């Protein structure tokens, strides 16, 4: 346990919200010092490594990311390093849960297991800002048959229980732009009110049905909602433009039919971000991952679905069978009191080893 705690603490202490390079340097150096793996650093800063490429069977990769969201002031020491504290069996600090704790557990499992199949490790950059590292890795030929992504899957079936997520939602962010014609507000009929057109578009969104999906017995429900509206320049001017922001949580398969808004006069639709959902495409991977988890915690653990997008979406979109299995609990990441359970971290490490072997 001390080695896992110390490695997690070292990775967490390295700031990686503005520049992931120092954290990537640490991971790359550790792999070169502690394993005989084929290690490479790609053009965007991802750290990737392989062992046992000559072995038969489905290749398996442990996948994490070493960027983090900006810290709270309380999470930064005077030296500039991030504060890491251990209390009551947990490590506190920015990135402990999301997700340098899982990266540390994966590194140790990658080193210690005698792989029964080609075994990879990858820690990506840019996960928190749209999956830049994962997308580059896929384009650069990173294509394991199976991947375990170490994002949070703890506490879904019961408090403190490590689960295996076989699906998660994606996120599509859109802007609906309504164009009109300005006029003086004393003569509204002389113009075309863009806010009224935007209101018609909002009504279309309100009536859309968000799709649902079933993945290995787990139900995943999407959603679609207007979250922002902006238009107009003055109280006495008929607005000639109005923008509406739409947040859509997508599921594997169909999408909500947002294109219907473009049937309205003067309304256009732009997709600003589209993070893909994930559905595990391999019953064998899902079952073996759950078996490994149950072995390390006396039969506990279930297949579950996550509400949040992860890099597993990009990998699954490229044809990689994925599960999500990691120590973070719902509501823990991105908070000023972010922390991770050391006992769950240890279970993750053992489960990763069992699956790889």
Give per-residue pLDDT as tens, 267-277: 999 999 999 99
* pTM metric for this prediction: 0.91
Instruction: Give the pairing type, strands 146-149 and 321-324.
Output: parallel
Q: What is the pLDDT of residue 247?
A: 96
Q: What is the pLDDT of residue 217?
A: 86
**pLDDT tens-digit profile of 34-82?**
999 999 999 999 999 999 999 998 999 999 999 999 999 999 999 999 9
Q: What is the pLDDT of residue 174?
A: 97
CB 355 within 8 A of CB 290: no
Q: What is the pLDDT of residue 219?
A: 87
**pLDDT tens-digit profile of 213-266?**
999 888 899 999 999 999 999 999 999 999 999 999 999 988 999 999 999 999
Q: Is 67 a catalytic residue?
A: yes
Long-range contacts, stretch 319-322, CB < 8 angstroms, 24+ apart: 319/143, 319/281, 320/143, 320/144, 320/145, 320/146, 320/147, 321/145, 321/146, 321/147, 321/280, 321/281, 321/282, 321/285, 322/146, 322/147, 322/148, 322/149, 322/278, 322/280, 322/281, 322/285
Query: Residue 1: pLDDT above 80?
Result: no
**pLDDT tens-digit profile of 277-332?**
999 999 999 999 999 999 999 999 999 999 999 999 999 999 999 999 999 999 99
Q: What is the pLDDT of residue 52?
A: 93
Catalytic residue among 28, 98, 127, 128: 128
Cα–Cα distance measured from residue 88 to residue 65, given in angstroms and rounded to the nearest whole number? 26
Q: What is the pLDDT of residue 181?
A: 97
Q: Is 112 a catalytic residue?
A: no
Query: Residue 351: pLDDT above 90?
Result: yes
Q: What is the pLDDT of residue 77?
A: 95
CATH of 2-169+277-356, one of 3.40.50.2300, 3.40.630.10, 1.10.8.50, 3.40.50.720: 3.40.630.10
Q: Class of 170-275 per CATH?
A: alpha beta
What's the whole-number mean pLDDT along residues 328-348?
96
Catalytic residue among 20, 26, 28, 67: 67
Domains of the chain, by residue range, sit at 2-169+277-356, 170-275
């Amino acid at each position: 346990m001390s080695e896992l705690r110390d490695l997690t603490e070292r990775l967490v202490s390295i700031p990686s919200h503005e520049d992931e390079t120092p954290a990537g340097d640490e991971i790359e150096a550790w792999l070169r010092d502690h394993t005989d793996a084929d290690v490479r650093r790609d053009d965007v800063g991802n750290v990737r490594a392989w062992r046992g490429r000559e072995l038969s069977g489905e290749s398996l990769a442990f996948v994490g990311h070493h960027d983090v969201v900006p810290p709270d002031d309380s999470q930064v020491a005077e030296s500039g390093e991030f504060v890491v504290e251990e209390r009551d069996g947990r490590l506190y600090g920015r990135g402990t849960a999301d997700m340098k704790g899982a990266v540390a557990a994966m590194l140790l499992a990658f080193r210690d297991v005698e792989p029964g199949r080609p075994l990879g490790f990858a820690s990506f950059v840019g996960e928190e800002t749209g999956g830049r590292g994962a997308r580059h890795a896929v384009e650069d030929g990173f294509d394991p048959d199976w991947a375990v992504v170490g994002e949070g899957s703890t506490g879904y079936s019961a408090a403190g229980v490590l689960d295996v997520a076989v699906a998660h939602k994606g996120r599509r962010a859109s802007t609906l732009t309504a164009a009109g014609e300005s006029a003086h507000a004393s003569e509204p009929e002389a113009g075309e009110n863009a806010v009224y057109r935007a209101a018609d578009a909002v009504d279309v969104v309100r009536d859309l049905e968000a799709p649902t999906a079933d993945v290995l017995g787990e139900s995943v429900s999407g959603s679609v909602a207007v979250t922002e509206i902006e238009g107009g320049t003055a109280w006495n001017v008929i607005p000639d433009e109005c923008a509406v922001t739409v947040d859509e949580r997508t599921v594997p398969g169909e999408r909500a039919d947002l294109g219907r808004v473009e049937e309205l006069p003067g309304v256009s639709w732009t997709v600003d971000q589209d993070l893909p959902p994930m559905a595990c495409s391999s019953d064998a991977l899902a079952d073996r991952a759950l078996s490994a988890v149950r072995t390390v915690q006396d039969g506990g653990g279930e297949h579950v679905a996550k509400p949040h997008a992860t890099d597993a979406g990009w990998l699954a979109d490229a044809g990689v069978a994925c599960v999500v299995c990691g120590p973070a609990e719902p509501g823990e990441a991105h908070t000023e009191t972010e922390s991770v359970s050391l006992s769950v971290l240890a279970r993750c490490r053992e489960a990763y080893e069992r699956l790889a072997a």
